[in-house]
Structure 1
Amino acid sequence: MESKDIKKIFEKNNQKYTKQREIIFLALKKSSPKHVTPEELFSIVRQKNKQVGIATIYRTLNIFEELGIVNKQEFTDNAYTYELIDSSNSHHDHIICTNCGKIIEDECISTNQLEKELKERYDFDLNYYSLRIYGTCSDCQKLRSTNDK
């Protein structure tokens, strides 16, 4: 997604695409595919523009979410992260290490297969799904087995 695409989304929804919103979008794009917290995004934005406050980051992220520009995720208690929605990217699930917080993105279940299965079993039309798998990553498992010796 490019700035011109975002500008069109804002215009279509009768919203102003300000310089601050553009700076925030570009910072999100720079951090992609990583999930970022508002505080991390604020830190990135402050390097470019000292005038953008944390409240502006939060307000802009809420607007971006409403307009379908970002996904808001909560992987741990009360810690929201954001990622750009990119129509060229396929669906991905989130595999989260409960020890170190590492997030691996991959398609664990085929969307087509899930859609077919839900239709056959429940006559259910799938619009969207989000899968989160929690466990311990290989690095933490190795660290734990080293410490157990």
Structure 2
Amino acid sequence: MQIAEVLQKLEQGARRLTPQREVIIRLFAEHPGRHLSAEEVHALVKEEASEIGLATVYRTLELLTELGILQRINFGDGRARYELNQEEPHRHHHLVCMRCGRVEEYGEDLLDSLEGRILEERGFKVLDHELKFYGLCRSCQKAQGHH
């Protein structure tokens, strides 16, 4: 999502681009593919704008999600994470480490052919899907002595 699109969505929602909102939006734009929790966003924006409190971060993330600028994703660990909303839905999957909580994207859409079969066999047009793989990342495997 380009910054012009973000500004347009804010205007459509009758919201202005406050300095706090701008810092948070820029953070996501500068970290594509990262899935950041509110606490992680807060820690990263405090480096640039130390006056931003955690409550402001939570409110801003909620607003940006409502306006469709960010997408909230739940990986089942009790912490919502956010990423910039993609123009095309469901074009990547997530790899979730069950030990450290790290989330990586897997860029190839593995379910395109399955969606085609579902349409052909059942007449059901899939508009979106979500696929998460749970396991151990490389670092956690090394730490546990797995190869």
Which TM-score bucket, shorter chain as reference? 0.7 to 0.9
Q: Distance in 2 between matches of 1:48 and 1:75?
A: 28
Matching of residues 38-57 of structure 1 within 5 Å? 38-57=38-57
Misfit runs of 4+, over 4 Å: none
Q: TM-score, with normalisation over the residues of structure 1?
A: 0.82
Structure 1 residues 50, 140: CA separation in 2 closer, same or farther (over 3 Å shift)? closer
Q: Report how far residue 106 of structure 1 moved.
A: 1.1
Ranges in structure 1 where 5+ consecutive residues have no aligned partner? none
Structure with max Cα Rg: 1
Is the aligned partner of 1:67 residue 2:67? Answer: yes
Q: Distance in 1 between matches of 2:116 and 2:89?
A: 21
Q: Report how far residue 115 of structure 1 moved.
A: 2.3
Encode CA deviations 1:55-108: one digit per residue, 9 max, x unaligned: 111111111111221121122421111111243797110111222323231145
Structure 1 residues 138, 31: CA separation in 2 closer, same or farther (over 3 Å shift)? closer
Matched with 1:118 is 118
CA RMSD of aligned residues (A): 2.4
Identical residues among aligned pairs (%): 30
Q: Distance in 2 between matches of 1:30 and 1:59?
A: 21
Structure with greater helix share of residues: 1
Encode CA deviations 1:103-127: one digit per residue, 9 max, x unaligned: 2311454343232122123221111
Structure 1 residues 40, 145: CA separation in 2 closer, same or farther (over 3 Å shift)? closer
Q: TM-score, with normalisation over the residues of structure 2?
A: 0.83
Is the aligned partner of 1:87 residue 2:87? Answer: yes
Ranges in structure 2 where 5+ consecutive residues have no aligned partner? none
Number of equivalenced pairs? 146
